[in-house]
Amino acid sequence: MNSYNKLSIIIYVIIAYGMTWCITIPLIFYYDIINYEIRELWHSLGSIGPTLAGLIIIYTRKRKLGLVQLKDRILKVADKKLFLVAFSPLIILALILPFEAVFGLFDYYTFLKTNNLEDIKSFILFFLPSLCYGFFEEIGWRGYLLPELQNFYTALKSTIILTVIWWLWHVPMFFYRFDLYFSLIFMFPLLLSGSIAFTFLFNQSGGSLLMIIIFHISYDIVTSSEISLIAILVVSALFIFIDVRAIKVYGIESLSQKEKILI
């Protein structure tokens, strides 16, 4: 890797961390004392770091051409099979909930009542973090960082490096949003499993950020909202299946049938 590209990645990480951490670190002290609406809006705002950092680096490197290429990737539509992959967590959830309801494991009314989802504002706030983090993280992580890393490393090694950066980026949230022991022990392998699946879909779709954004949002809605433990387990198993197939069948160079996407 030439020194210019290495410096760009380092600067990107510093900007992404700096912007997000300036927003999320204060939440460590205020999370339990502010009201729900402000808390969710504040936390959701922390998602902008990777996107703003990516836009800055891409514009610095390629000016308007780089931003146009990024826009094209955001709007790029893949084939129907990959759409199914992108929506698969939500599809699994939609298939499992009726069965859970029949056997008394899930009650729609209780879920809505418990989470105060009886009005549109509360409904939006409940899903806002999943929507914001799924969208704004991917503009940076897969819109800039992954293809930049894939210029110099295999898709698998690029994914591992990205996952380390991604995991550490969450550090302030370890102290207010997530369980600390879970974050330190289990979060990295879960992120790595997701990252490999995301890399597969990104390269397989020809660099469609739209597919990755949908995939990420779908996954976050199922796992972060804790609507169904069974759905979480099935989605996790699906990700492991995608990971194994991507590595064993397609190989570590691109983790897909197609060539890896470069910036």
Q: 224: exposed, middle or buried (C-beta count within 10 Å: 0-12, 13-18, 19+)?
A: middle
58 in any annotated domain:
yes
Q: What is the C-alpha to C-alpha distance for residues 216 and 214, in angstroms, rounded to an integer? A: 6
Task: Give domain status of residue 81, yes or no.
Answer: yes
Look at residue 255 and tell me if it is in a domain: no
Total of domains in the chain: 1
- List of long-range contacts for 150-154, beta carbons under 8 Å, 24+ apart: 150/260, 150/261, 150/262, 150/263, 151/1, 151/5, 151/262, 151/263, 152/1, 152/5, 154/252, 154/253, 154/254, 154/260
Sign of CA dihedral 10, 15, 18, 21: negative
pLDDT attached to residue 226: 77
> 103 lies in a domain?
yes
Would you state the pLDDT for residue 4?
A: 65
The whole-model pTM stands at 0.93
Which residues constitute the domain of residue 208? 3-250
d(CA 76, CA 237): 28
pLDDT for the residue numbered 3: 64
Residue 67 lies in a domain: yes
Q: Which of 142, 144, 131 is nearest to 54 (CA)?
A: 144
Q: What is the mean pLDDT of each run of 10 residues along the chain (263 residues)?
A: 78 97 97 94 97 96 92 92 96 95 87 80 91 97 96 96 98 95 94 97 97 97 87 96 97 96 90
Kindly state whether residue 263 falls inside one of the protein's structural domains.
no
Amino acid at 138: E
In a domain, 205, yes or no: yes
